[in-house]
Amino acid sequence: MTMFWLFAPIVSKLAVRPSPSQSELDAPIDTRVGRVQLVPGYFYKVSGVNQYFDFDTATGWITVRSTVDRERCNGSVDLLLVATPPSIVHVVVIVLDVNDHAPEFPVPFQNVSLVESSAIGTRIPLLPATDPDAGRNGTVVEYGIENTVDEFGLIYDDAGLLYLEVRLPLDRESKQLVTMNISAKDGGIPARTGYTTVYVEILDVNDNAPTFSSRELEAKWNGLAATPIATLNATDADHGRNGEIIYSIPGAEREHFRIEGSQVFAQVRDKLRPLVWSQFCATTKC
């Protein structure tokens, strides 16, 4: 004859808050976290593997054996005590959260770009920070720019999205790269803060016209067609193709002069008049 003994498990729930001693992350080793009321005449042992807590079979005290991290144990630790005569005690140790994690951005650096003609109010999404703690300890409540930056501000909405917002007109010719140290603060007491660095590249638009170094040029010519009579010099503050300069001669003056690169040559035809006035233009590629 085979007999089966069925016993309803006795469940006991205990709570432990990792208290800061030498380390504010962990409850000290041998800290008493709770006591199981033992039944006289019963013998108890822990079933299975348990790395966090010790159970004193004589007194019923549960003590901390090793580092207790709420985020690793998902907020609780189960202990299964098997007794003789047959019975089971299921102990749930609830690990209460402390603010032992700072908000963390997914990357230490973020690179974004926008054109210098971007309107005030333009928003660019940034990667927000997350915090594995629970409740207010794990809630990012504030973002900030740690260094002085006038051109941009931060917007953090109720959906948890983080944006960089243009606050002032941008000018690539005066500032090509804006570096910002962004902080994220959680709601714990005391609060913890995480950081990331954002690099904003200001892209060029063709918003500057070329300017000549001099409005007038005085040229002397020896009568040889291969000899340049003047060199044009204009500059453009824009970048790349927007700042590349092409010289040209407008209108009928092409009959008297030609341009190769930035050098001006006299055209030898019948006879060049002793004094010829000409206008030169500088334009940029687009």
List, for residues 92-140, the tens digit of each pLDDT value.
887 777 888 999 999 999 999 999 999 999 999 999 999 998 889 999 9
Q: Are residues 114 and 194 in the same domain?
A: yes
CATH number of the domain where residue 271 is located? 2.60.40.60
Strand 10-16, strand 87-95: pairing: parallel
What one-character DSSP code corresponds to residue 8?
P
As for how many domains the chain has, the answer is 3
Provide the domain limits for residue 139. Answer: 109-203
Q: Whole-model pTM?
A: 0.65
Residue 104 within any structural domain of the chain: no
For residue range 217-226, what is the model confidence (pLDDT) as tens digits?
A: 777 777 777 7
Q: What is the DSSP code string of 82-113?
A: EEETTEEEEEEEEE--------B-SSSEEEEE
Cis peptide bond upstream of 85, omega within 30? yes
* Average pLDDT of every residue of the chain: 80
In this prediction, residue 285 carries a pLDDT of 53
- Domain endpoint, select from 203, 236, 267: 203
Identify the pLDDT of residue 119.
Answer: 96
Say yes or no: 231 and 188 in one domain. no
pLDDT of residue 4: 33
- Per-residue model confidence (pLDDT) at position 144: 97
Rg (CA), the chain: 39
Strand-by-strand arrangement of the 140-145 sheet:
109-115, 193-203, 177-186, 140-145
In a domain, 19, yes or no: yes
**Residue range 42-67: average pLDDT?**
84
Mean pLDDT of 56-82: 81
Higher pLDDT residue, 257 or 183?
A: 183
> Of 69, 95, 121, at which residue does a domain stop?
95
Higher-pLDDT residue of 267, 55:
55
In a domain, 251, yes or no: yes
The predicted pLDDT at position 279 comes to 57
More confident residue, 31 or 169: 169
Shared domain for 199 and 216, answered yes or no, is no
Q: Is residue 4 part of a domain?
A: no
**Domain end residue (candidates: 36, 64, 95):** 95
pLDDT at 22 over 70: no
User: How many percent of the chain have pLDDT more than 70?
Assistant: 83
